[in-house]
């Protein structure tokens, strides 16, 4: 089983490099979608470097609170430093298993949010269903995920490059398969409704990011795609990088399709 925390610990620098391009803008969009008010209590799961937790903390103000959960100590450390620099003392970050998390004070949250993370959770439906019970009746759940075809050509070129050294590598990982279950407006709407949420609304956000070879490889190293390199030697990783770069150029891929969906439901 992939150690998700270790994957993102190793990719901290590259993950942070992508913050102004992708995670930051979409994190802000995620926080804004929840209709947060001053004083609200927010649970942000799979919070990473705080892309959605930090803007949420700004929206709820000092009278509110934000609890950010993740398995990557490196990303949490970054989020904690940024929160301190911005004076967001009411944003707290925890290295914790979200599947068993309970609010330290036992009080319910007003909003649960997760940007690009639910598909990493074991038993995604069960995990998010339980997390939603930590939200008060009338509270909201916000889920941001990849839209259909987002990063697909990019990811398939990487898989083909890695399979030169790891021919047994499956085309789709469990994370990919989980993400595919919620990658259209209809699928995400149905999934959120299936969790018992009402007043579900889903909107698509188009985002295309120009990339060069260095930035493309940075995305691989800073995301869950990095897990596909596990077990390779340094020389093999360099071989994958060269082959991947060539494949992107041959396919004419000079942008990362980062189209995303933001779904909101009421408990």
Whether 261 is in a domain gets the answer yes
Mean pLDDT of the chain: 96
Question: From CA 18, how far away is CA 24, in angstroms rounded?
Answer: 8
Percent of the chain past pLDDT 90, that is, above it, reads 94
Q: Please state the domain count of the chain.
A: 1
**In the prediction, which pLDDT does 263 show?**
98
Determine the structural domain holding residue 92 and report its residue range: 4-150+170-213+257-266
Whether 240 is in a domain gets the answer no
* Average pLDDT over every residue of 184-191: 98
Segment 8-41, tens digit of pLDDT: 999 999 999 999 999 999 999 999 999 999 999 9
Whether 224 is in a domain gets the answer no
Question: From CA 14, how far away is CA 72, in angstroms rounded?
Answer: 14
- The CA distances from residue 47 to 22, 156, 165, 211, 219, in Å, are 14, 26, 33, 25, 18
Whether 164 is in a domain gets the answer no
Whether 65 is in a domain gets the answer yes
**In the prediction, which pLDDT does 152 show?**
78
Whether 46 is in a domain gets the answer yes
Segment 105-123, tens digit of pLDDT: 999 999 999 999 999 999 9
Segment 76-95, tens digit of pLDDT: 999 999 999 999 999 999 99
**In the prediction, which pLDDT does 2 show?**
72
Whether 16 is in a domain gets the answer yes
Segment 204-261, tens digit of pLDDT: 999 999 999 999 999 999 999 999 999 999 999 999 999 999 999 999 999 999 999 9
**CATH number of the domain where residue 114 is located:** 3.40.50.150
């Amino acid at each position: 089983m992939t150690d998700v925390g270790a994957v993102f610990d190793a990719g901290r620098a590259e993950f942070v490099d992508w913050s102004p391009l992708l995670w930051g803008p979409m994190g802000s969009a995620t926080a804004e979608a929840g209709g947060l008010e001053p004083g609200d209590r927010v649970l942000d799961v799979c919070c990473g470097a705080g892309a959605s937790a930090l803007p949420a903390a700004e929206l709820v103000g000092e009278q509110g609170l934000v609890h950010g959960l993740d398995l990557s100590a490196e990303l949490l450390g970054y989020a904690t430093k940024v929160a301190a620099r911005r004076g967001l003392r009411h944003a707290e970050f925890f290295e914790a298993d979200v599947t068993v998390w309970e609010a330290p004070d036992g009080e319910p949250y007003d909003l649960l949010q997760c940007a690009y993370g639910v598909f990493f959770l074991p038993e995604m439906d069960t995990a998010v269903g339980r997390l939603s019970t930590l939200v008060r009746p009338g509270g909201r759940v916000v889920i941001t995920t990849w839209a259909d075809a987002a990063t697909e050509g990019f990811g398939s070129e990487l898989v083909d490059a890695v399979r030169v050294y790891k021919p047994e590598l499956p085309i789709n990982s469990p994370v990919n398969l989980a993400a595919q279950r919620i990658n259209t407006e209809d699928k995400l709407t149905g999934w959120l409704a299936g969790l018992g949420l009402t007043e579900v609304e889903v909107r698509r956000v188009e985002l295309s990011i120009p990339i060069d070879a260095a930035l493309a490889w940075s995305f691989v190293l800073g995301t869950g795609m990095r897990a596909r390199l596990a077990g390779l030697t340094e020389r093999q990783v360099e071989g994958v990088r060269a082959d991947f770069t060539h494949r992107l150029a041959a396919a004419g891929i000079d942008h990362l399709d980062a189209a995303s969906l933001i779904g909101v439901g009421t408990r």
